[in-house]
Amino acid sequence: MLSAVEVVLTDLRALSDEVGNLREAIGASRNYLRLTQVQYKFGLVDYLIVIDAERTLLSNQLSLAQAVNLQMGASIRLIKALRAGWDAGAAVRLEAGRSRMVSSSRRMIEFKCRGASTHVEGAS
């Protein structure tokens, strides 16, 4: 069990690093695209250079989407390796419980606020 968790954690760390690097690459690709568009506008480069910059940006964005997908899969494998399970019904039940707790807290706050305003009105 421990070795499976270690393997998944290693994968998750590597994928996190890859996602970070791809986010930086996308930023650089956007800057390069803006630069080539300005250069094209002033007649310094052919439109083929702009198209290549767009292709590079789109390629990096696709790679990021794929890496994030793999990262999510690794997160799910980590949960399974830890034997925590993956129960979508439990998440729905948890959210329903939170909603009841929030509405109960709101009613209590409203009750306390009404009580405080009664005390203030009675003090006058």
Domain boundaries, the chain: 1-86, 87-124
Q: What's the rounded Cα separation, in Å, for the pair 69 and 52? A: 26
Longest dimension (CA), the chain: 81
Does the reported pTM lie above 0.85? no
Q: What's the rounded Cα separation, in Å, for the pair 5 and 12? A: 10
pLDDT in tens, the chain (124 residues): 457 888 889 999 999 999 999 999 999 999 999 999 999 999 999 999 999 999 999 999 999 999 999 999 999 888 888 876 556 666 566 666 666 666 665 665 665 556 544 444 454 4
Q: What's the rounded Cα separation, in Å, for the pair 83 and 34? A: 48
How high is the pLDDT of residue 106? Answer: 60
